[in-house]
Each structure stands twice: as structure tokens, then as C-alpha cells.
Structure 1
Amino acid sequence: MVSNAVFRELALALPDTVELPHFENTSFRIKKKIFATLSEKNNRACLKFSEVDQSVFSSFDQTVIYPVPNKWGKQGWTFIELAKVEEETLIDALKTAHQQVVNASQRKPKTNG
């Protein structure tokens, strides 16, 4: 089990991460892009993965890590039940989501010409 406080500590330990409000949740961002949110009242995190990473993490146990059940889930957003996840798995998931956003922000925009 991972507490909300431990989740926050782990997320903020990643390079250049800032914590900001996001509606009723807390977001964790790098370069203004969200890679994770925390719902303290539900003791649940939501992380941004690639389709492949979402599939890999969800394959461990769909009661612990699973796609958000709507269009956001199809875009890689994935719930993690903090009361059920092992800390090592969460650390790996956070690093993966963080790197996903870092990589996306480093891609050059496509130009016509």
C-alpha cells in the first residue's frame, strides 16, 4: 500500500516536477504537461502512458492498474489504486509516465514543406 503522502513524495522526486491543482485533484507536471494526478479522497492516482506502456502495466493486475474507462483511457490515462499497488511498481510507473511526457515535449513539431 502507498499513502497519498508517499505518492506525492515519489512524484516530486522526479526531475523538474511541479505540483499544481487540477480541478478537485492534484497534478504533477513537467514543462507544463501533466504526467500524473492524485485523487486524495479516492486514494487513487492517474498516470499518462503510451498505449504500449498502459498495456504492460495493466497486465500485472487489472484491479490495481487499469485504463480510465472512457476516451481518456484510450489516450493512455491509467488509474492506479494506491491502496493495492506495491511501491516498487508505482515507482516504475511514475518514472515511465514522467519520461513519456519528457519525450513528447522534446519532439519537434511537424512542418509542411
Structure 2
Amino acid sequence: MIDIETLRGIALSLPQATEGPHADKTGFRIGKKLFATVNIKESRATVKLSPANQDIFCTFDSTVIYPVPNKWGKQGWTHVNLQAVHKEMLTEILKVAYCEVAPKRLAELVVFE
């Protein structure tokens, strides 16, 4: 299980990422653009992926990562089950989500394993 501190550490390790409130959740942004939120009560993160990346990640296991079941999901917003995801996969998902919204000059600084 991934806890909020682990997720926070990964998200904030990305260049110029910040943390702040987003509705009743905690959000992670680059500039004003949201790339992830965390819902502690539901032990779930939600990330912004391109539809192509959403398709790729969601083929892994639909109990671990799956599209938000509404119009937001069709735009790439994707839920991640923090009780089931491995840290290495969460790290890659957060990096991809970050690069989806980050300026190119910052996205180029992200190193993928």
C-alpha cells in the first residue's frame, strides 16, 4: 500500500511541482496545471494522462488503474488504487502525468526508468 507521504515525495520530486488543496482533496500541480490529486479516504490517486497513455496503463490491471467513470475519464483522468499499486508503477504514472501538463523544458528533465 502506498501512503500519502510516499505519493507526496514522488510528486514533489518532479521539477517545480507544488502541493495544494483541490476541492476536498490534495492536488499536485506544475504552475497552475493539475497533474494529480489524492483522495486519502478512498486510498486513491487520480492522474491526468493522455488518452493513449491511459489506454496503455489501464491494460495492466483494472483493479489497480482505471479511467474515471465519467466525462473526465474520457479526457484522460485516471484513478490509481493506492492499496494495490507498486511504488515503481506509481512513480512512472506520476512522471507521465506530470509530463502531460508540464512545459516542455521541464518535462525534458524527467528521467524514466
SS at match of 1:96: helix
Unaligned runs of 5+ in 2: 107-113
Unaligned runs of 5+ in 1: 107-113
User: Which residue of structure 2 lines up, in the alignment, with residue 52 of structure 1?
Assistant: 52
User: Which residue of structure 2 lines up, in the alignment, with residue 97 of structure 1?
Assistant: 97
Give the distance between the partners of 1:103 and 1:16, measured in 2 at CA. Answer: 11
Give the distance between the partners of 2:78 and 2:14, measured in 1 at CA. Answer: 19
User: Which residue of structure 2 lines up, in the alignment, with residue 82 of structure 1?
Assistant: 82
Give the distance between the partners of 1:44 and 1:4, measured in 2 at CA. Answer: 10
User: Which residue of structure 2 lines up, in the alignment, with residue 109 of structure 1?
Assistant: none
* Cα RMSD (Å): 1.6
What TM-score, normalized by structure 2, do the two folds share?
0.89
- Percent identity, please: 49
Give the distance between the partners of 1:96 and 1:103, measured in 2 at CA. Answer: 13
User: Which residue of structure 1 lines up, in the alignment, with residue 67 of structure 2?
Assistant: 67
- 2:27 maps to a residue whose letter is S
Give the distance between the partners of 1:94 and 1:79, measured in 2 at CA. Answer: 12
SS at match of 2:47: strand
SS at match of 2:37: strand
Spell out, residue by residue over 1:19-64, the C-alpha distance to the aligned partner (whole angstroms, 9 max, x if none): 0101110000001100000111111000000000000000000000
Shift of 1:5: 1.3
Shift of 1:65: 0.1
Give the distance between the partners of 1:38 and 1:98, measured in 2 at CA. Answer: 14
User: Which residue of structure 2 lines up, in the alignment, with residue 19 of structure 1?
Assistant: 19
List structure 1 segments (4+ residues) > 3 angstroms apart after TM superposition.
none
Give the distance between the partners of 1:5 and 1:102, measured in 2 at CA. Answer: 22
